[in-house]
Amino acid sequence: MKKLIAILMTLVIAFAICSCGNKDKYADNTTVVLTNTSDNKNITIKFEHKGDSITKLSQKEIISFDSLGVGNAMDAQALLEPKIAMIPTIDGYENKITVKDDHVEETVDIDFKKIDSDKINEIPGLNFVGDAKDTISLEETIKELKKSGFKEVDEKK
């Protein structure tokens, strides 16, 4: 869960650093996928973008029970209930936590075209610096995520 907060904070930094750098690399309207596997966690982030501007973010995190410090699904559910209860309902934002037999899956989807910029700071672990109406630089976000150990992958694989 701390990794999720760190990732979302990376978006804060990227928000503050609006589109700059080599814009040709991400000129097409495509998707970019990054992954990070460490500490009994597997995180995959998919960015949809228009040029260097992120339009949607989809993140899936698979967390082992060991990483949470629990031994079974019932304990994991009990541990996560307070967090699940605090997930806000915001148009353009979805956060779903599912307890499986041997791990927890958390998915976060943010549609930056739909989300109300006045509501964006209500997302737990997400505090934007500057005007939330500004675009988020894909290139700067990827750069920061790579510093945290993420690797860009070919989504066709």
List, for residues 44-83, the tens digit of each pLDDT value.
Answer: 999 999 998 899 999 999 999 999 999 999 999 999 999 9
CATH of the domain at 74: 3.30.1830.10
* Domain contains 29: yes
pLDDT of residue 20 exceeding 60, the answer is: no
Number of H helices, E strands in the chain: 4, 6
pLDDT of residue 125 exceeding 90, the answer is: no
pTM score, two decimals? 0.79
Tally of CA atoms within 13 A in the half-sphere of 86 that contains its CB: 9
* Domain contains 75: yes
Q: What's the pLDDT tens digit per position in 56-67?
A: 999 999 999 999
